[in-house]
Amino acid sequence: MGRRTRRLNPAAAFLVVIAALVLGIGVSAAVTGGRSVNPLTGLQQVVAQLTGGRTVEQQDLYAKADRVLKQAQAALERHDPARARDWLKQYDVLKLSVLMHDDRNALEKRRASIERQLAG
């Protein structure tokens, strides 16, 4: 015999939703230091804190730029300057203007270091 399905009445479902919102507000307020009473804004702030303040687009772009620079550095270590330059060309076409200022600066310092190694 199968299990009998159970349905939640609408009033109980409503109470569950309200409880989830109240808990969500409490958690987001606790994590963000009480700066937000809007659960959506609070959730966005929590996600931003967990991701270093980056959006998903920024995270993906940063990760791609990081991979490209690592490949360029690896090519240098293999004594393959032509391949390192190819990787830097790929880096240069990335639209890094959407990145946070600190991320962009850190990547540019790494790129400049690779460029100096190529010149030296």
Q: Domain extents for the chain?
A: 10-50, 56-119
Instruction: Quote the pLDDT of residue 54.
Output: 75
Residue 1 pLDDT class (50, 70, 90 cuts):
low
Q: What is the pTM of this model?
A: 0.59
17-56 confidence digits (pLDDT tens): 777 777 776 666 666 565 555 555 555 555 555 556 677 8
65-118 confidence digits (pLDDT tens): 999 999 999 999 999 999 999 999 999 999 999 888 889 999 999 999 999 999
DSSP string for the chain: -PPPP----HHHHHHHHHHHHHHHHHHHHHHTTS---SHHHHHHHHHHHHTTT--HHHHHHHHHHHHHHHHHHHHHHTT-HHHHHHHHHHHHTS-GGGS-HHHHHHHHHHHHHHHHHHH-
